[in-house]
Amino acid sequence: MGMFFFSIFFALPALWFMWFLYSTVRERPAHADEWMKEIRGGCDMTKKEEEIMSYLSEKTRGERFFYVHFFKLRAFYLFLQYLRAELPNHTNERYIGLEGYLDIFNYTIYVLKVALKVKLPYHTKIAEIESKVPDEIKKVIDSLIPQFSGLNEEENRKLNEHDSERWKNFYQAIEAEYTTIETSETKHEDIETGYTAVEKFIADIDTLIKNNGTEVAQREIHLKAHKFLVTRDKVASLQYYIRYFCYETLSSDHNFKYKPVTARDKKILFDTPEQLKKFEKILSQLQQKKKRKSYLNSSLLKVENIFIKEKRRIVLDTDAIQSARNDLAGVVDILNEYLEEPEAIADNSQNIQDVQETENTSPVFNTLQTEFLKLFEANNFHLEYDEVDNFVHSKGMFKSQLIEGINEQFYEELDDLLIEEDGDHYTLNKEYYQHLIS
């Protein structure tokens, strides 16, 4: 008997401690739940409504997307709207009980997930959920969905953090819309968006990337956009690939292995071996840069120049020109002997010389470009953003108009950019510049 009381004496503190741990980690009762207080603050609920909502909260604790606060609130507000629309009309005893309301609430969660494009349960479970809810109730809930399905950018980003594959549903919708607009363009129908199919696709993809903050999602979206645009817009396709390529060295995911452009896509994208070499050079230079993000914009600009047709260069043979001059002088001497018109011939010879001198002394830069580049020289070939802005404003120009104009003008000769954006300033390549003015 003494041993029994001795055991009870030591067992009670242990049992009390275990209960304490359980009470701290288990979900709080529905009446103490913070989000339930928030629902009460948004609308006055009857006792019957509170009873139903508390029961549903307890039974759906394992719903993963209820960890996203606004998703949970939307689901319960949606169901509350349903209750208030349909509760007075319920005559089917099956749906008067709490278990019946749980079936309807599971359907509510399902249709809300579809509307917000989040990960769904297994198909067998979906079929089970739909089979338990009558069609007339489904129609009521479906009609209420639009007012609860809209998300702002911040909510989209938070939901994406909990579903790393949610972007795939949006991506499929973007491709489908591209096909619709492209068909309208082909049939010469009016396009309400004001975008071409490619422009709308790019705008939607950029928004999708912005709303997906995870590295895995962003790099996959870039890669899919690159492949989709291969046959539709070469420049945009390669620009998306370059952004994807940046993850190869910037990625914090050690298991990430970037995928090169496929041989099939290379044949479509590049018309000549020279174009492919230029693209590979851009990737190589980008990989060697220490500050890859700051060089990304200049790399994207280089892509545009890959497909600019090279102008044929005229190389003057100075030896041949001098030989022709000597021959011409000999002809002039012979003509002088026969025609006795030395002044006219001399004037003609002088005109030829003037033309040649004019051709050989044409300036490399125009006056505005010279002034701008001299400003770089005076500042050790670096200019801050503000300095460049002040200069272009004083000349009544746009910054991109001046800098991109210079880069495009000499890209063929340099096969690279003369002026590059480097972090918070611009840099003039000293070696390239001295080559041009020599």
Using the predicted structure, report yes or no on whether residue 374 has a pLDDT greater than 50: yes
98 and 121 assigned to the same domain: yes
What does the mean pLDDT of the chain come to? 76
Q: Binning pLDDT at 50, 70 and 90, where does residue 312 land?
A: very low
Single-letter amino acid code for the residue at 163: D
pLDDT per position as a tens digit, 170-212: 999 999 999 888 887 776 555 555 678 899 999 999 999 988 8
297 and 232 assigned to the same domain: yes
Q: Among 243-257, 262-276, 392-406, which stretch is predicted with the lowest mean pLDDT? A: 243-257
Q: Which residue has the tokens 């209820």?
A: 66
Top pLDDT among 340 and 79 is at 79
Residue 24 belongs to some domain of the structure: no
Percent of the chain at pLDDT above 70?
68
Q: Locate 293 and state its tokens.
A: 């993000």
221 and 341 assigned to the same domain: no
Q: Binning pLDDT at 50, 70 and 90, where does residue 398 land?
A: confident
Using the predicted structure, report yes or no on whether residue 68 has a pLDDT greater than 60: yes
CATH of the domain at 404: 1.10.10
Other CB atoms within 10 Å distance of the CB of residue 426 = 19
Using the predicted structure, report yes or no on whether residue 35 has a pLDDT greater than 70: no
Choosing from 126, 155, 184, the residue where a domain stops is: 155
pLDDT at 249: 56
The whole-number average pLDDT for the span 238-266 is 80
The whole-number average pLDDT for the span 74-100 is 73
107 and 240 assigned to the same domain: no
User: CB burial class (10 A; 0-12, 13-18, 19+) of residue 327?
Assistant: exposed
276 and 322 assigned to the same domain: no
What would you report as the CA-atom Rg of the chain, rounded to the nearest whole angstrom? 37
Helix pair 47-59, 98-116: axis angle to 10 deg: 70
300 and 322 assigned to the same domain: no
pLDDT at 358: 42
200 and 138 assigned to the same domain: no
356 and 371 assigned to the same domain: no
pLDDT at 29: 39
184 and 85 assigned to the same domain: no
The whole-number average pLDDT for the span 12-27 is 47
430, 373 contact by CB (below 8 A): no
Top pLDDT among 350 and 323 is at 323
270, 279 contact by CB (below 8 A): yes
pLDDT at 212: 86
DSSP codes, 16-29: HHHHHHHHHHSPPP
Q: Where are the alpha helices (DSSP H) in 211-272?
A: 215-229, 234-250, 263-269
> How many structural domains comprise the chain?
4
pLDDT at 289: 58
User: CB burial class (10 A; 0-12, 13-18, 19+) of residue 163?
Assistant: buried
SS3 for 107? helix
Q: Provide the β-strand partners of residue 384.
A: 425
Residue 18 belongs to some domain of the structure: no
294 and 356 assigned to the same domain: no
Using the predicted structure, report yes or no on whether residue 163 has a pLDDT greater than 50: yes
Q: Among 31-35, 159-163, 181-185, 361-365, which stretch is predicted with the lowest mean pLDDT? A: 31-35
The residue range of the domain holding 49 is: 30-155
Residue 425 phi/psi, 5-degree rounding, is: -150, 175
pLDDT at 93: 45
pLDDT at 345: 43
Residue 291 belongs to some domain of the structure: yes
Using the predicted structure, report yes or no on whether residue 89 has a pLDDT greater than 80: no
Percent of the chain at pLDDT above 90?
20
118 and 245 assigned to the same domain: no
Q: Binning pLDDT at 50, 70 and 90, where does residue 254 land?
A: low
Using the predicted structure, report yes or no on whether residue 91 has a pLDDT greater than 50: no
339 and 372 assigned to the same domain: no
